[in-house]
Homo-oligomer: A and B are copies of this chain.
Amino acid sequence: MANRILIKDATLVTMDENRDQDRGIVNTGDLYIENDLIKQITCGMEVTPEDVQIISGKNKVVIPGLINLHNHAAMTLFRSYADDYPLMEWLTKKIFPAEAKLTEDDVYWGTSLALLEMIRGGTTTFVDMYYYMEQTARACQEAGIRALLSQVFINSGNNKGLNSLEDAIDFIENWQDENNGRIQAILGPHALYTCPPDFLKKMLKKTEHLNAIIHIHLSESRGEVEETLKNYQKTPVALLEEIGLFERDVIAGHCVHLNDQDIAILSSRGVGISHNPCSNLKLANGIAPLKKLLDHGACVGLGTDGAASNNNLDMFEEIKLCSLLQKGLLEDPTAIPALEAFKLATRGGVKAIKKENSLGILKEGAKADLAIVDFNKPHLQPHNDPVANLVYAASAGDVETVIIDGNILYHKGEFLTMDQERIYYEAAKCSKRLRQ
């Protein structure tokens, strides 16, 4: 039997540019889902209740599911474990020793905890990079979330028990477009400073046949850029351009420290940039030139980064913060208006993952990946402007229902595919062992 859901009498923030006349906002509309697709957007639709699950949209706002472009999901195990340390001390004394003890089980339960949080907060697709990626894939498969997953690897892979390029290729071959296309395996070279140019060139050659998006950390810290300039007389962006990385589809995490030439390269190459404002502030890397990137036509989405450097996976925080930071920094209150900020978490994200037609939009024929936000809350009253409310006032906790691929995964406090209490219990156990 077909999966049929009707969301009735809701405000629909469609993010559909073909609806430009109404700024993409349908006040009081119905959204009808059949199987994994949005079948109809209309008004006053009548259905037979026996055949269709009806969800009231009264005082609710339906949005395309949010796209979290950069995460290390299993790092929820290290949430609030080591904060406020200098970067090198944080890494070498806290994170690396704990990660050295990681097992497959840890990644499975840490990821599962992250999935609870992301789904609960309206994220329907995320891009990940970490160890034991098969376990992340398994957790995603069971939960029903959409994900682009990269097994992280570095040049010295296999010498220190870390993943090698070969492991990453195996992962891609094993997990290509699983689960109705919900799980997509991509390529995750960690960063330029751990994967030097010659190694990256070798990687490009060896993975030519895979057609996989490349997910990499790029120009995150000032030190990384200075080091690359010293060693190669080029910025990280210019160096990657030189070796031909940007001829492939790339998602670059962070991109904080950029010069004008970097911005021109990233924009003209259509590199998908994951802007992660919370993490960039918390790890003291600074503030990326978001406005300048957008003015140059760059493809930018938003990400939370891992929970160890945020410390949550709330995309609403990133949406608000990316706008506020540019206004404050540039002393311009018109910088990154509400709709533009919301676009980054939806249209920007799907452009970066090359799913512009099927995700991050509410329109007939698109995938039924969406969230219903409950506006019946004091901080979302009165209902003056739904987009401004979403961007400047809402938070993950306001999401009431999440649908991915036409399946309801979360509804009014209940997870329909995951055992919340079991995940809390197992994740706490893993976290405790790793911290010891």
Contacts and interface: CB of A to CB of B under 8 A. Distances in A.
Given A117-B379, A392-B311, A285 B331 contact: yes
* Residue of A81, A282, A307, A428 contacting most chain B CB atoms (<10 Å): A282
Given A76-B382, A79-B384, A80-B385, 6 more contacts: A116-B378, A285-B328, A377-B397, A382-B424, A395-B396, A397-B397
A333 B85 contact: yes
Contact of A378 (B120, B282, B337): B120
A83 B314 contact: no
Given A113-B378, A385-B81, A86 B334 contact: yes
Interface in A154-212: none
Nearest to A429: B382
Interface in A68-112: 76-81, 83-87, 90
Given A311-B392, A334-B84, A384 B435 contact: yes
A43 interface: no
A235 interface: no
B381 A424 contact: yes
Contacts of A420: 378
A4 interface: no
B311 A388 contact: yes
Interface in A379-436: 379, 381-385, 388-389, 392-393, 395-398, 420, 424, 427-428, 431-432, 435
A222 interface: yes
Contacts of A424: 376, 378, 381-382
A383 B331 contact: no
A47 interface: no
Contacts of A87: 333
Nearest to A281: B328
* Residue of A76, A282, A324 contacting most chain B CB atoms (<10 Å): A324
Nearest to A314: B379
B381 A427 contact: yes
29 contacts: A76-B382, A78-B384, A79-B381, A79-B393, A80-B389, A81-B385, A83-B385, A84-B333, A84-B334, A86-B334, A87-B333, A113-B382, A281-B325, A282-B328, A282-B333, A284-B330, A284-B331, A284-B333, A287-B328, A314-B395, A378-B420, A381-B424, A382-B424, A383-B428, A384-B431, A395-B395, A395-B396, A395-B397, A397-B398
